[in-house]
Amino acid sequence: MNAIRNDFPILKRISHGVPLVYLDNAATTQKPQSVIDAEVEYYTMYNSNVHRAAHELAEEATTLMEDARRKAATLINSEYKTEVIFTRGTTEAINLVASSLTAEVQSGDEILITELEHHSNIVPWQMLCQRTGATLVAVAVTPSGEIDLQDFHNKLNSKTKIFACNHVSNALGTVNPIAALLSDAKAEGATTVVDGAQAILHLDVDVRELDCDFYAFSGHKMYAPTGIGILYGKQGWLEKLPPWQGGGEMIEHVTIAQSSYQRPPYKFEAGTPNIAGAVGLGAAIDYLASIDRAALRVEERQLIHLTISRLKQIPGLRLIGEPEERSAVVSFHIDGSHPHDIGTLLDQQGVAVRTGHHCAMPLMDRLGISGTVRASFSLYSDANDVDRLVQAVEKATTFMPPRG
């Protein structure tokens, strides 16, 4: 674990006079030196636009970018490299799908989501419904923070045109039974879209085994730079769907009257891509391949169990969401406090957490709260982080008004 932590230079930082404890990984993970070096090397040695020139730099930059695409395809077990589209992240990927599917949806159709979704897996579908006259339907969430499977089956029907669901909840850490959900949705003829932003680092993702139509994730949740992400789409869908942005790179031939487009994935990658980000994503995938992720995930699960057991001992602290299967997120509330106040008190002790609604306002409404304090872990988190978190929370509670 010390060797892993030493790969991440920011973890040596001092915050408010003490060593930083970074527990905001569901928002963004830190970057290993190898990823930082890869971006620096790209700009130092290879910086050029891709695909559109015959000189050496352009050829090298193109090779680096396409190598990253291949690595991403391998990571998720995509059958073809051409099923992998570079985006700015999960949000852009879902917007791309929602926009491109417009012609496939009509009035009377239903789009099924859940109350567990991040706003980026709600708002694009709302916009699609506004364009087409379709109806957005949401599956309820249980008090424990899990999808209500009975409600899912009640609301899934022959009118369900699209089913969009997260693999792992960013707000509660709930690991959804995504394979079973997708199978049932596909049996009703629905197109399936998975928000994999929180799953890609903590679970093994196999898009062929899941048999999903689309799967989206962000690089910055898995040690890669911000502003780069992946949309996986089945080849048949990508061939069928229209592009959602027009411009350079995605065209085959252009006249004033009309244009023809390249085949996927380039049809969906208009303009100059985030080449350096793609290079950084490739380096992050290489980094993950170099470590024993399975062993680290075992340690991560042990840390989560330790965190929960210790937080439960703090008077006035209430866990928000206790799903049967949880990823690396623990959300909680302290009686008589506002989450932002707790977050500030923890920050003053060098412990970085996230507070608020976590871009999941419908979920907060369902649970009857305005927000939570969220501690989220990564493969470099350790028992000292848990100790510091618990100590910081215990101290923060001393500033709260007496209960009762």
- Mean pLDDT computed over 212-229: 98
403 within a domain of the structure (yes/no): no
Domain check: are 252 and 192 in the same one?
Answer: yes
Residue 43 domain-assigned (yes or no): yes
- 12 with 161, same domain: the answer is no
Distance CA 188, CA 364 (A): 30
Last-in-domain residue among 271, 289, 307: 289
Which of residues 289, 312, 335 is at a domain's end? 289
Q: Is residue 404 scored above 90 in pLDDT?
A: no
Identify the burial level of 56 via C-beta atoms within 10 angstroms of its C-beta, where 0-12 means exposed, 13-18 middle and 19 or more buried. exposed
Q: Is 359 a catalytic residue?
A: yes
- In whole numbers, what is the pLDDT of the chain averaged over residues? 96
Q: How far apart are CA 395 and CA 241, in angstroms?
A: 55
Residues 269 and 326 occupy one common structural domain? no
Q: What is the rounded average pLDDT of the residues 159-173?
A: 98
Coil/strand/helix, residue 252: strand
Structure tokens at 65: 């970018």
What does the alpha-carbon distance between residue 82 and residue 145 come to, in Å, rounded to a whole number? Answer: 36
Does residue 1 carry a pLDDT above 80?
no
Q: What is the CATH number of the domain that holds 389?
A: 3.90.1150.10
Pick the closest to residue 188 from 91, 112, 286 (CA basis).
112
pLDDT range class, residue 387, cuts 50, 70, 90: very high
**pLDDT confidence tier of residue 52, bands split at 50, 70 and 90:** confident
Q: Are residues 271 and 387 in the same domain?
A: no
d(CA 131, CA 307): 45
Contact present, 195 and 203 (Cβ < 8 Å): no
pLDDT digits (tens, 9 = 90+) for 257-280: 999 999 999 999 999 999 999 999
Average pLDDT rounded to a whole number, residues 60-72: 97
User: Is the domain of 278 the same as that of 324?
Assistant: no
8 A C-beta contact, residue 151 and residue 164: no
Residue 402 lies in a domain: no
Q: Residue 361 CB: number of other CB atoms within 10 A? A: 15
Same-domain status, 251 and 350: no
Residue 290 burial class via C-beta count within 10 angstroms: exposed 0-12, middle 13-18, buried 19 and up:
exposed
Q: Are residues 270 and 348 in the same domain?
A: no
The DSSP symbol for 157 reads: -
Place of tokens 């249980």: 142
Domain assignment present for residue 377? The answer is: yes
Does one domain contain both 335 and 278? Answer: no
Element (H, E) at 38: helix 33-41
Residue 403: pLDDT band with limits 50, 70, 90: low
Identify the pLDDT of residue 380. 96
C-beta of residue 273 within 8 angstroms of C-beta of residue 65: yes
Band (28; pLDDT cuts 50, 70, 90): very high
Domain that holds residue 24: 2-30+292-397
Instruction: Please check whether residue 284 lies inside any domain of the structure.
Output: yes
pLDDT at 399: 84
Q: What is the pLDDT of residue 105?
A: 98
In a domain, 404, yes or no: no
Give first-to-last CA distance, the chain, whole Å: 43
CA atoms within 13 A on the CB side of 126: 9
Please indicate, yes or no, if residue 315 is contained in any of the structural domains. Answer: yes
Contacts of 15 (CB under 8 A, 6+ apart): 347, 350, 352
CATH number at residue 162: 3.40.640.10
Percent of the chain with pLDDT over 70: 99
303 in the same domain as 258: no
Which of these three, 258, 289, 320, is where a domain ends?
Answer: 289
Catalytic residue among 129, 165, 212, 359: 359
Residue 218 confidence (pLDDT): 98
User: To which residue do tokens 């527990």 refer?
Assistant: 23
- Per DSSP, the three-state class of 59 is helix
Residue 356 token pair: 């608020």
Task: Judge if 46 and 171 occupy the same domain.
Answer: yes
**Could you tell me the pTM of the whole model?**
0.97
Mean pLDDT over 70-96 rounds to 98
Compute the residue count for the chain: 404
∠316-321-325 over CA atoms, to 5°?
130
Residue 54: what pLDDT?
Answer: 86
Structure tokens belonging to residue 44:
């130092």
Instruction: Please report whether residue 242 resides in a domain.
Output: yes
Q: What is the mean pLDDT of residues 145-174?
A: 98
173 touches 327 (CB < 8 A)? yes
Strands (E), 10-64: 14-15, 18-19, 21-22
Same domain flag for 309 and 189: no
Q: Are residues 83 and 215 in the same domain?
A: yes
Overall domain count for the chain: 2
